[in-house]
Amino acid sequence: MRTFDAKQMFNANMFNTEQFENTFFGPARAYANLSMDFAEKLANAQLDAAKAYTDTGLAQARAFATVKDAEGLRSYMEGQQKVAKDLTERLKGDAEKVVALQQDFVSKSQKLTEENVKQATDTATKAANAK
């Protein structure tokens, strides 16, 4: 039975350890970091939005709980228009924030991919010329 020897494989093939790192592990690590940064920013945006919506809902529940008569109900209902307008604006802003995060992620991913393809091409060219 033959055993696997990574060192022999690297010596037999065109990749040395540094080339392997630059061609495979480095780009994978860079993309993983980019993805984690995006996930963190998106999660924080979602948490901020959830807190704002929860605070608004609780404030509205408290306001409704203070209604004691027809005048209080009228005042509460009039305030609902402002709350609805504010929530609409908040939703629009949150959606724009998520779109901007996604566009930034796509842009950075494309740039990273282009850099990695160029680096892999350069490495392959050097390895081919070294033979």
Q: What is the pLDDT of residues 72-123, one digit of tens each?
A: 999 999 999 999 999 999 999 999 999 999 999 999 999 999 988 888 788 7
Burial of residue 108, with CB atoms counted within 10 A of its CB: 0-12 exposed, 13-18 middle, 19 or more buried: middle
What DSSP designation does 2 have?
P
What DSSP designation does 69 have?
S
- Is the CB of residue 87 less than 8 Å from the CB of residue 56? yes
Does the predicted TM-score (pTM) go above 0.95?
Answer: no
pLDDT of residue 71: 94
